[in-house]
Structure 1
């Protein structure tokens, strides 16, 4: 069924017009999972009966002429670190293999309120602890739908592979160190890291922890992966905004994009850097994308923003990731207070520099990663390297490109912009102004008109 490789927005429109029933769509989705998932190991738990019951209820609501949500009847999945009532939340850890969530995460409730059917959960890397691969001792390894000998990225590798292979219309994942954006790039789909603190994290919690996580979560985000940029917008509108006490005090809306034509955009461009040199196979695809932007009339502005020191700020990002984990692990020794203050000042200096930059430039285009999907690597973390045409690169150089949006809390979309000569997807990262997520989303949507977007994988 070709609709399984289209957008969630288009599928919902078919249902509203009566050209397809939610029962038919859900049955087709489940059949696709049955046929393809054994080779990928992307979807790790399915609530089949509940999904079909929800589909029948969605059809009944349409038959009654009810006002329905933008994702009404659309099958979706979430990463197995988000709670879904009655389903296991394992984080890929054997000690949590039997933990069953008692209630839904906030985003799961909001997806349901928008009409979506959350029918399954997707594979994460163990404790979400790898940005390059997805494997754990509960469910095993997830494979890339473009080449099953290669990684789908991490740690939302299961979700990215599922969306790419037509196993789900929408995935909700998490992104601390590129865990949405890198898998989106490797699998050829769209992935959004929203502006920090716009999508509630309630329900993203290690099982059996006694309390909510620290509010020092300015680096941690959750967001959608989809087959179209327009779907990112729909899902963000459905899931973002305050909750609880905060929701009684203020509301949230998604600001309109700055422009609706490529020719009106001023686009910053950085395609390479010595700290994470982009392989020639990725560089060629990114260069072609920038050339296409120029032909479309976009104004290209080359170079990093004034006030951004890419190497130092990447190091600062690493420090703050360490600080994040220090707050999650009681009794964990960390840096002295003076260093914490220094690094926090660097983080805020980065935010100020980006705000100045976006007063004149609309988005910045840069690599999501220096490499396309690479072969599975079972060596210890510190022994891994990534082979490129120019030689081996350090495995731990991957976070460099995703760090620069995360440190100041900016929205960033990984958008598919083409494939390497060997046929592997390449993603470009579109970084937008803070809290102006739709500017980055709309730019990614328009970019697809000149470079192509999602392509169906051979899985």
Structure 2
């Protein structure tokens, strides 16, 4: 029975039914890693012995009709930003090279409680704070579609491992497109959940001892099919199990009954961040598929927000989160740069420094701006069920590890653009805490994957996933990179 690119939850059903052995499935993925991982470096740590012991136990339990849960005996990898009990968790941070957590992150534990076997970790950038996955401990992860290109970040190793068939399911995190951009770059599905729907407790950063949920940052599954996204989200959703967390309302059902009742807004390109023509064309093609299914499609609808102002607001809040633990000398340097700058300077570099230097009263001002943005989005989604827009404005680009991100550039339609523009479409929906499902749409003329994000109102996760399922069925399902479907 085939294992490669099977649904993780389908594998669990076959293991519980005795049609597959958990040991066989684990050995299959270990063999795949031995064969393909040297070329892409997606899986950076293994826990083979303990995983094999748990796989043997899973098979024994299945033989005795003991059901561990919907992921019974399924081996999977985990993004190396999530704490994994007994398995080294580096998070791209040199000082953590030997850190072995004593317990799992809350989200990881939910997967384990559902029967999953965590057998390895996938690569991330330093502190999960880049759009490419490389660090001085585990080096660079390549894109399986073209090893000269990045797999994205920060869930880059996770997406590359899925695309190359090294794991059937992954757990990602997203504060700047870190689920959606790697999904787009590698041709897989990913879901950035509504803010606080999935606990980030035990994620690096902010750290294994931190109890509060970091602003903006969200979690979610990556997979090769929508069914796995939906079932994984059901397992992962919910606050940390203690008094510091507060429950969210149950997720509502999709906001439309069938395609004929679906209201779709399309935002395929914009002057605030011009999009590669091939991406805009693929988004328009997906919109046309939904239109042919009977959906009402509006290509001119926009929320009542200024996207550039939203980006500036998002970038400052983002940097206040990322910069929370920077040394005092870095914070003082940021303060000095802001004080010396022209008050009208809206450059990316200065906005980042403003975020790092931000005091609480300034954060309150920025948060108030963000809340007005959230109200505008909520009004928009009274008239539309979903918005289709880019995950990023470019396909996977060539590796560029210049230590100064501001010195990096990316060519878009033949024009060089700042590297950090990759954050603009990701932040468009993230800043308002909106859920977004990344779906593959096809490839460029030179064979690079293209995807898009499907966004909806806060807690509209099931709506974005329902539209993703329509597109998976009628437009494009997951397609492996050439050479990996063996």
Same fold per TM (> 0.5)? yes
Q: Show the 5 A alignment for 1:159-308.
A: 159-206=158-205, 211-212=209-210, 214-215=212-213, 217-246=214-243, 250=247, 253-259=250-256, 261-308=258-305
Query: Which residue of 295, 302, 309 corresponds with 1:312?
Result: 309
Alpha-carbon shift at residue 140 of structure 1 (Å): 0.4
**Residues 13 and 44 of structure 1: is their aligned pair in 2 closer, same or farther, counting only changes over 3 Å?**
same
Match status 1:424 vs 2:448: yes
Larger mean CA deviation between 120-129 and 5-14 belongs to: 5-14
Indicate conservation of the 8 Å contact 1:418/1:453, yes or no.
no
Distance 1:136 1:280 in 2: 32
Alpha-carbon shift at residue 63 of structure 1 (Å): 1.4
Alpha-carbon shift at residue 13 of structure 1 (Å): 2.5
Distance 1:385 1:249 in 2: 42
**Residues 180 and 111 of structure 1: is their aligned pair in 2 closer, same or farther, counting only changes over 3 Å?**
same
Indicate conservation of the 8 Å contact 2:162/2:170, yes or no.
yes
Query: Which residue of 347, 351, 365 corresponds with 2:370?
Result: 347
Post-superposition CA distance 1:138-164 (Å, at most 9, x none): 000000011111100011111110011
What is residue 400 of structure 2 aligned with on the other side? Answer: 377
Unaligned 5+ residue runs, structure 2?
336-356
Match status 1:364 vs 2:387: yes
Q: Secondary structure of the residue that 2:465 maps to in structure 1?
A: helix
Question: Normalization by structure 2: what TM-score?
Answer: 0.89
Distance 1:252 1:354 in 2: 19
What is residue 406 of structure 1 aligned with on the other side? Answer: 430
Q: Secondary structure of the residue that 2:467 maps to in structure 1?
A: helix
What is residue 344 of structure 2 aligned with on the other side? Answer: none
Alpha-carbon shift at residue 348 of structure 1 (Å): 0.3
Distance 2:16 2:242 in 1: 35
Distance 1:357 1:276 in 2: 21
Match status 1:433 vs 2:483: no
**Residues 210 and 279 of structure 1: is their aligned pair in 2 closer, same or farther, counting only changes over 3 Å?**
closer
Distance 2:54 2:68 in 1: 14
Distance 1:167 1:179 in 2: 19
Q: How many residues align?
A: 456
Q: Show the 5 A alignment for 1:17-96.
A: 17-96=17-96
Q: Secondary structure of the residue that 2:395 maps to in structure 1?
A: coil
Distance 2:298 2:447 in 1: 29
Larger mean CA deviation between 177-186 and 326-335 belongs to: 326-335
Indicate conservation of the 8 Å contact 2:211/2:244, yes or no.
no
Question: Normalization by structure 1: what TM-score?
Answer: 0.94
Indicate conservation of the 8 Å contact 1:347/1:407, yes or no.
yes
Distance 1:225 1:389 in 2: 29
Larger mean CA deviation between 97-106 and 243-252 belongs to: 243-252
RMSD: 2.0
Unaligned 5+ residue runs, structure 1?
none
Q: Secondary structure of the residue that 2:4 maps to in structure 1?
A: helix
Larger mean CA deviation between 306-315 and 246-255 belongs to: 246-255
Match status 1:118 vs 2:118: yes
**Residues 390 and 262 of structure 1: is their aligned pair in 2 closer, same or farther, counting only changes over 3 Å?**
farther
Q: Secondary structure of the residue that 2:3 maps to in structure 1?
A: helix
Match status 1:442 vs 2:466: yes
Post-superposition CA distance 1:290-341 (Å, at most 9, x none): 1111111111122353422111111110011122134334644523555433
What is residue 106 of structure 1 aligned with on the other side? Answer: 106
What is residue 352 of structure 2 aligned with on the other side? Answer: none
Indicate conservation of the 8 Å contact 1:242/1:252, yes or no.
no
What is residue 351 of structure 2 aligned with on the other side? Answer: none
What is residue 421 of structure 2 aligned with on the other side? Answer: 397
